[in-house]
Amino acid sequence: MPRPSVQSLRRSALAARRLRPLALAASLLLVAGLVAGCGSSSSAADSKTLVVATHDSWAMSKQVMADFEKKTGITVKIQPQGDAGELTNKLVLTKGDPLADMVYGIDNTFASRAVDAGVLAPYTPPQQPASVSRFAPGKGDGAGQLTPIDYGDVCVNVDDSWFARHHLSPPASLGDLTRPAYKNLFVTEGATTSSPGLAFLLTTIAKEGSGWQDYWKRLMANGTKIDAGWSDAWDVDYTAGGGHGDRPIVLSYASSPPDTVDKQTGKPTTSALLNTCFRQIEYAGVLRGASNPRAAKEFIDFMLGKQFQAALPEEMYVYPVDTSVKLPADWARWAKVAPNPVTMPPHEITAHRAQWLSTWRDLTSQ
């Protein structure tokens, strides 16, 4: 093979120098185009697929879901979209071009934001268990759009075995939490970062009235700790939680005690203070502009059915709105609901939320 001359080498190098960047750029552009192109797989709506936007706490047994799919031929795609607040805000922001066909998990603390923004289409299931009406939203709070599915009571929980070991009687009311005997023993969740935290703030506002700010001042002065979320409080700070922390009073749910059942005695080592509870009600609704509203309605009907309702406690730690459904044995014994929980109309919460939260933050973030 003859060696190329120096000149020809230099000439071709020169030519290459001019062309290479162009060629390289063109091919890279092509690659980028391909990357973008293969991403845009169509999400074409077909009548046999239902997309459900939910909060992160969704859980349902495969059996129950399979039964629905078998019965109706509809495939259900669950898409968790954050906590109840984040879920609601995403729906509001994508109004008119919804992320899903229906929503489950908007609760009474966020309902009227979604209703006011007009993200929901009207739907009321034709057949409902008798007890559902007790939980249905009022006029202007989503009546005719939101169907109640389940509820839960957010309550102060106490570690009874800790108090027994320390020869101290556990607190019995909200007022007790500010007593010196319980200094540095209470851990709760932030009202701005956690939905039980918000529920507890609403409880104090409902129970203490105009004195709620003073109550929080006393609470903070008594060494109350505020965590970002439920898992931080339960898993790190609570004496009966996963991390075996050092605070025997925690803000959790009326359904929490069955999780602390002692293997030897068969009884829970903790209990919920049922006079400190706020009732959260979770709703389902069809989204306005849904591509498959028919399937959404079918699924909402199914959610009110016995099978789905009966699975709620074990799967999502909430109580079914159909009160005729039998609860699991340990729930029936150890997870009684509050007889007179705090409730608040959604529109009242929406009207004051921003102001309450900013006041609360000033009180707690010194």
Query: Of 183-202, which residues contact another protein (CB under 8 A)?
Result: 190, 192-193
**CA end-to-end span of the chain:** 83
Binding status of residue 162 toward another protein by CB under 8 A: no
Q: In this chain, which stretch among 73-81, 140-148, 167-175, 273-281 interacts with another protein, using CB under 8 A? A: 73-81
Binding status of residue 130 toward another protein by CB under 8 A: no
- Residue 255 Cβ, how far from another protein at the closest point, in Å? 9
Alpha-carbon gap, residue 250 to 236, rounded angstroms: 11
Q: Return the residue of 228, 306, 326, 351 that touches another protein, per CB under 8 A.
A: 228
Nearer of residues 89 and 269 to another protein, judged by Cβ:
89
- Residue 326 Cβ, how far from another protein at the closest point, in Å? 18
Binding status of residue 244 toward another protein by CB under 8 A: yes
Q: Return the residue of 232, 282, 298, 322 that touches another protein, per CB under 8 A.
A: 232
- Residue 43 Cβ, how far from another protein at the closest point, in Å? 4
Q: What are phi and psi of 106, to 5 degrees?
A: -65, 130
Q: How many residues bind another protein (CB under 8 A)?
A: 83
CA 321 and chain centroid, separation: 17
Query: Of 256-275, which residues contact another protein (CB under 8 A)?
Result: 256, 259
Query: Of 83-102, which residues contact another protein (CB under 8 A)?
Result: 83, 85-86, 89-90, 92-94, 97, 99
Alpha-carbon gap, residue 256 to 157, rounded angstroms: 8
Query: Of 304-333, which residues contact another protein (CB under 8 A)?
Result: 314-315, 317
Q: In this chain, which stretch among 10-18, 132-140, 280-288, 291-299 interacts with another protein, using CB under 8 A? A: 10-18
Query: Of 30-49, which residues contact another protein (CB under 8 A)?
Result: 31-32, 35-36, 38-43
- Residue 138 Cβ, how far from another protein at the closest point, in Å? 22
- Residue 126 Cβ, how far from another protein at the closest point, in Å? 29
Nearer of residues 80 and 129 to another protein, judged by Cβ:
80
